[in-house]
Amino acid sequence: MRASRRNLVAVIVAAVMLVVSAAVLVWGISSHRDADATLHKAETTLAHERSLHSAATAELEKEQAAARGLRLQMDAVTAAADAVAPLDDQGLTAVKAAVSAGTARDVAGYNAAVVQLNVANPRYDAALEELRVRVNTLVVALDLLRN
């Protein structure tokens, strides 16, 4: 009976080990499935984040290009305004000379100042037109960015 009792104990131990092994196997399979689901979710999230990043990068590059274009247009406006300033000063000098000559009753001085003003006016008008065109181009570009 001793041998039979040992066999029974061995069978019980083997059965317990089998049940424990089966439980560990089920737990391992469940953990593996959970890990697969977590990995799939992470991969999906990563793909989504990459697409958002790509879209944001493309939008940023588009906005940077627009900003560079606006900067060039603003530089053109500044250059056009800088071209008007000395012509404006020349016109003001000619008008002051005409007024001074007129109040001094210096007809020759007055006529010389008027000739100087008449010579400066077409250049002044052209510079103002260039400035107007540059400003309008900038305004249109800004309006396009707003929309």
Token representation of residue 10: 């061995």
pLDDT tens-digit profile of 58-103?
Answer: 999 988 888 898 999 999 999 999 999 999 999 999 999 999 999 9
Token representation of residue 31: 């953990």
pLDDT reading at 44 higher than 80? yes
Q: What share of the chain is helix, strand, coil (3-state, %, to 5)?
A: 95, 0, 5
Mean of pLDDT values over 3-17: 87
Total-model pTM? 0.58
pLDDT reading at 1 higher than 70? no
Number of domains into which the chain is organized = 1
Per the prediction, the chain carries an average pLDDT of 90
pLDDT reading at 124 higher than 90? yes
Q: Which domain holds residue 62?
A: 2-146
